[in-house]
A and B are shown apart, each in its own frame.
Chain A
Amino acid sequence: QKEVEQNSGPLSVPEGAIASLNCTYSDRGSQSFFWYRQYSGKSPELIMSIYSNGDKEDGRFTAQLNKASQYVSLLIRDSQPSDSATYLCAVNRRGNYQLIWGAGTKLIIKP
């Protein structure tokens, strides 16, 4: 079983709509969860971090965490063409600081 799983996509969403990205993880001891955005050939850029169950909102982005279901998601409201990128889910295990990464979901926002 992969430690962090994401649908590779591509996920195609019309401009202005809500994009929903999902991630599951296998280690119940995971404590910190991150969404990074990566443009082709560029480094990952931190979008959101979430540590406790529930929703966390930052501008057009909302991260949702459900530890019982081992599930974390990212919603992007009012999607823009500039949101087109690969979105990486990363998870930090209890007791160490390395991030375990999903393979990423490619998001395409259609004008």
Chain B
Amino acid sequence: EPEVTQTPSHQVTQMGQEVILRCVPISNHLYFYWYRQILGQKVEFLVSFYNNEISEKSEIFDDQFSVERPDGSNFTLKIRSTKLEDSAMYFCASRGVTGVGYTFGSGTRLTVV
């Protein structure tokens, strides 16, 4: 069964450092998303991406965040200057043209120290 792949599975970074979280969506999917989940809290939408541009973003997705699809397969989330409160599980998801339910990747646990 096709799956969404995320790397790394765990990233520890110092406050103020830049991090890039990587995702390989399912190959024939066209819509891509980043969500995050702070430990013990609900899943929160960050951004959606379609046709090489951001289609929607939340209030969380401020100027410190950016997304990119640098080639035909990867989808990245960059946090320019990490803060302690960015510590969370970050999930990438993708979906195809039909249907609205997504497939999630296994997540990257980001720890900012």
What residues make up the interface of A, taking CB atoms closer than 8 Å to B? 32, 34, 41-46, 49, 88, 90, 92, 96-104
The yes or no answer to B65 lying at the interface (CB within 8 A) is: no
Distance, CA A100 to CA B35, complexed state (A): 11
Distance, CA A109 to CA B105, complexed state (A): 26
The yes or no answer to B75 lying at the interface (CB within 8 A) is: no
Chain A positions within 8 Å of B89 at CB level: 41, 43
Contact: A46 with B102, CB < 8 Å? yes
Interface size class of B (residues with CB under 8 A): 20 to 34
Contact: A44 with B43, CB < 8 Å? yes
The yes or no answer to B103 lying at the interface (CB within 8 A) is: yes
Residue of A nearest to B45 (CB): A98
Contact: B58 with A98, CB < 8 Å? yes
Distance, CA A96 to CA B43, complexed state (A): 17
Checking A32, A97, A101 against B31 with a beta-carbon cut-off of 8 angstroms, the contacting residue is A97
Contact: A97 with B56, CB < 8 Å? yes
Chain A positions within 8 Å of B106 at CB level: 42-43
Contact: A43 with B42, CB < 8 Å? no
Write 26 A-B pairs (CB below 8 A) sorted by A numbering.
A32-B100, A41-B89, A42-B106, A42-B107, A43-B91, A43-B105, A43-B107, A44-B43, A44-B91, A44-B104, A46-B101, A49-B99, A88-B42, A88-B43, A90-B43, A92-B100, A96-B48, A97-B95, A97-B100, A98-B58, A99-B35, A99-B45, A99-B102, A100-B45, A101-B43, A104-B42
* Chain A CB within 10 Å, residue with most, of B56, B100, B104: B100
Chain A positions within 8 Å of B58 at CB level: 98
Distance, CA A44 to CA B48, complexed state (A): 17
Residue of A nearest to B107 (CB): A43
